[in-house]
Amino acid sequence: MKRRTWTGLAFCSPLILGLLAFTVLPVIASFWFSLCNYPILDSPRYVGAANYVEMAHDDRFWHSVQNTFVFVLASVPLGMIVGLGLALLMNQRVPGIKVFRTLFFLPTVVPLVANSVLWIRMLDPESGLINSFLRFLHLPEGWMPGWLSDEHWAMPGLILMSLWGAGGGAILYLAALQDVPSELFEAAELDGAGPVQRFKNVTIPLISPVLLFTGVMGLIGGFQEFGRAFVMTSGGPWDATLFYCLHLFNSAFTEFRLGYASAMAWVLFAVILLSTIIVMRASQKHVQYEQ
């Protein structure tokens, strides 16, 4: 028996080493840094909760919190609705279903930077595809959104861009829909349930675990939104797209305030943990797992 312990440890030794070196120790260090004043070239000096207190009084911090919540609360539900819509449409007897599935999924494969370059162009107020299309529809020139150059339109622009990736969720919903036994629908139909009722009372409950999963993953990813804004807007214009993690990155690597940035990271972790728990709790009654 003893020998098996050594065997197990040996097989898992890279994992154990990695967990210690790249997770456990950095987590402890990070918590310590968050209680310190730590300019990058100096050594950390303990300041208690000062970083956390400063955060509460930092207008840009709150602004970044607000931006991030707006992004998450808009992009996650919209992405799920679009994804579900696509999945329902694909769940018909359609010729060339594989082609459709591929077309909707491909945008999720595009690398972040290439995607950002593409969408800076897409959202160009003058010659971008979106405004060109709006002009094609003869919308008055005064209605043209300025997208990334306009502080009120930059965030909607990024949310629109995120919807292009809704096909990733659609693949999952489609897989779940195809697992739903057809007898359930036939039974509901016999009981006189219309299409809306069948959707509400049969389809949604049966794929609810997948909906919950994509919702939670979307939430976690959304709170960590960084690259898009970094490449496309640098947080501008006027901080309109200053996401939480962009502010965190800037605090650490342009202002070199490692203590403050570490404290921000811990607040982020708390927010992610808390919102995940809230969503799980709130959905408990509505999500149905197979028996």
Which residues within the stretch 162-181 sit at the binding site for another protein (CB under 8 A)?
164, 167-168, 171-172, 175-181
- Given a contact cutoff of 8 angstroms between Cβ atoms, the answer to whether 76 and 214 are in contact is no
Query: From the CA atom positions of the chain, what is the Rg in Å?
Result: 24
**Which range in 23-31, 52-60, 64-72, 279-287 contacts another protein by CB under 8 A?**
23-31
52 belongs to the binding site for another protein (CB under 8 A): no
Collect all residues with Cβ–Cβ distance below 8 Å to 281 and sequence separation of at least 6: none
Burial class (CB in 10 A: 0-12, 13-18, 19+), 227: middle
Distance CA 282, CA 270 (A): 18
Residues 249-278 contacting another protein, CB under 8 A: 252-253, 258, 261-262, 264-266, 268-269, 272-273, 276
* Residue 102 found at the interface with another protein (CB under 8 A): yes
Cβ neighbours, 10 Å, residue 136: 8
Q: Rule CB under 8 A: which of 24-43 touch another protein?
A: 25-27, 29-30, 33
User: Is 192 a binder of another protein (CB under 8 A)?
Assistant: no
d(CA 36, CA 72): 30
CA 92 to chain centroid, in Å, comes to: 29
Q: Which residue from 45, 42, 20 is spatially nearest to 256, judged by alpha carbons?
A: 42
The binder of another protein chosen from 54, 55, 69, 100 (CB under 8 A): 100
**Ranges within 193-252 binding another protein (CB under 8 A):** 210, 213-214, 217, 220, 223-224, 226-227, 230-231, 245, 248, 252
d(CA 243, CA 263): 16
Tokens of 81: 């609705």
Regarding 149 and contact with another protein (CB under 8 A), the answer is no
Q: Does 281 bind another protein (CB under 8 A)?
A: no
Among 51, 64, 75, 116, binds another protein (CB under 8 A): 116
118 binds another protein (CB under 8 A): yes
156 binds another protein (CB under 8 A): no
66 near another protein (CB under 8 A): no
Q: Is residue 187 a contact residue for another protein (CB under 8 A)? A: no
Residue 136 as a binder of another protein (CB under 8 A): the answer is yes
Element holding 45 (H helix, E strand): strand 45-46
- Two tokens, residue 166: 């809704």
Looking at 54-62, 66-74, 94-102, 147-155, which segment touches another protein (CB under 8 A)? 94-102
Chosen residue from 49, 81, 103, 274 binding another protein by CB under 8 A: 103
Which CB sits closer to another protein, 7 or 66?
A: 7
Per the CB < 8 A criterion, the answer to whether 146 and 126 are in contact is no
Tell me the C-alpha distance between 165 and 163, whole Å: 5
Which one among 8, 255, 278, 286 touches another protein, defined by CB under 8 A? 8
Q: Does 127 bind another protein (CB under 8 A)?
A: yes
